Amino acid sequence: MNIDEQVELLMQGTEYGDEALKEAMTKELRERLIESEKTGRPLRVYCGYDPTSTDLHLGHTISMRKLRQFQDLGHEVTFLIGSYTALVGDPSDKNKARPVLTSEQVMENAKTYAEQAFRVLDKEKTIVRYNGEWLSKLTLVDLIKLGQVFTVQQFLARENFAKRMESGEPIYLHETFYPLMQGYDAVAMETDVQIGGTDQLFNILMGGRKLQEAHGQKPLVGVICGILPGTDGVQRMSKSTGNIVPINTGAEDMFGKVMSIPDSAMGTYFRLVSRYTPAEIDALLAKVEAGEMHPRDAKMELGREIVSIFYGEEAAQPAQDAFIALFQKKDIPDDMPEYALQDGQTVLDVMIAAKLVPSKSQGRRMVDQGAVKLDGEPIKRAGDAFPNPGVLQVGKRKFVRVK
């Protein structure tokens, strides 16, 4: 790839919330790539991961895919495990303080993160580090010096802190340490490029860049990835909303969950999750727009691509065949009504609200007879909470896509 093609690929799927900021970061990235090509020194690129849980889903891997793009272009990639930042907890997208984890919990979760990350990253070319390596050595005087770079007003101006102030929700002092700690990661590793989601914009651009400047380093380029919507195509992928595509779910289940996303979200998935180039994505979506390719076929291509990334090429076709056998051969229609799942609804509630059954008693009978299925799997109890978005089938002819 020439420099223009590299920049287009590396900035694909990025979001800054400000076009001027995106242009500035794009310009700086281009300059770093040109410099790297001239000197022969690979860029030092990293993304940090706080192992606050063991359950990873497709949304967690967006930054890993971006790291892999840099890796494939010959740059030095560090997978940084936040063994110390996880003890504080990132307040960036939270409306209350995170629970403080123990060191034992963090290290146990970290093992799972690294194992799953190597489904995307090249293990042989990936440097794995823990930020306790340098953060554990900071003294109180060091922390005071880091704090001199920022003002309290800068922290309180952040949207989530401002909302908490407004609602009377407490903001704990230790939460303000987080951007300092993350920023110091960039200083310790003399980082050229840091990758993160849109919720990390403040931490990366205010934390890393300002602290590097204060330490006499060239400020890093922030590559800010967009947030992947869940299988509903609207809300951010999150375990709490049940709209996730888990990483350890199995090839067939992963393929089926990708096929459940609405057509409108396909472009975002291709840009954030796939290995396709910008030109290849544009060409494919243009075919769909022109009616030369059915959206279902494009989505199948997406499903094969995502399954191939996590389970290998050999698993992709069998996963597609299983999906076709389960859905298409059972005359499940391409077009069906949609229903937006409400908090706390049971299976029976959804059946009634979506007009799949005329009464609760008939709904219970249909469930008891095994005639109610979600994504091809029989529902066992009508009174259970609706498990997750998908295709709900009642009898042989009634279908609704629950989002």
Phi then psi for 245, rounded to 5 degrees?
Answer: -115, 100
What's the pLDDT at 93? 45
Q: Is the pLDDT of residue 154 over 80?
A: no
Residues pairing with 195 in the sheet: 223
DSSP H helices in 73-190: 85-88, 103-117, 132-135, 140-147, 152-156, 159-167, 177-189
Give pLDDT tens digits for 75-120. Answer: 999 999 888 887 775 554 444 444 566 777 777 777 777 777 888 8
CB burial string 48-60: b at 16+ within 10 A, e below: bbbbbeeebbbbb
Please give the full DSSP string across 175-218, using - where no structure is assigned.
GGHHHHHHHHHHHHHT-SEEEEEGGGHHIIIIIIHHHHHHTTPP
Give pLDDT tens digits for 331-364. Answer: 566 678 899 998 889 999 999 999 999 899 989 9
Residues 6+ apart with CB under 8 A from 12: 271, 278, 281
Report the chain's mean pLDDT, rounded to a whole number.
86
What's the pLDDT at 241? 73
Residue 199 token pair:
């919720």
What is the mean pLDDT of the segment spanning 187-202? 91
pLDDT band at 301 (very low <50, low <70, confident <90, very high): very high
Q: What is the pTM of this model?
A: 0.71
Q: Is the pLDDT of residue 139 over 70?
A: yes
What's the pLDDT at 162? 77
Q: Which residue has the higher pLDDT, 33 or 167?
A: 33
Q: Which residue has the higher pLDDT, 115 or 186?
A: 186
Task: Tell me the residue type at 114.
Answer: A
Q: Which residue has the higher pLDDT, 197 or 155?
A: 197
pLDDT > 70 in the chain, percent: 93
Q: If we measure between CA atoms, which residue out of 241, 219, 211 comes closest to residue 229? A: 241
What's the pLDDT at 96? 47
Please give the full DSSP string across 236-299, using - where no structure is assigned.
BP-GGGT---BTTS-HHHHHHHHHTS-GGGHHHHHHHHS---HHHHHHHHHHHHTTSS-HHHHH
CA angle 196, 200, 203 (to 5 degrees): 115
What is the mean pLDDT of the segment spanning 42-51? 90
- Read off the DSSP letter of residue 163: H
Q: Which residue has the higher pLDDT, 94 or 37?
A: 37
CA angle 35, 38, 40 (to 5 degrees): 95
Which of 150-154, 220-224, 270-274, 308-312 reaches the highest mean pLDDT?
220-224
What's the pLDDT at 100? 61
Long-range contacts of 346-350 (CB under 8 A, 24+ apart): 346/382, 346/383, 346/384, 346/385, 346/386, 347/372, 347/374, 347/379, 347/381, 347/382, 347/383, 347/384, 347/385, 347/386, 348/382, 348/383, 349/386, 350/386, 350/392, 350/400, 350/402
What's the pLDDT at 242? 75
What's the pLDDT at 95? 42
Which domains does the chain possess?
A: 3-225 (3.40.50.620), 239-330 (1.10.240.10), 338-402 (3.10.290.10)
Q: Which residue has the higher pLDDT, 22 or 146?
A: 22
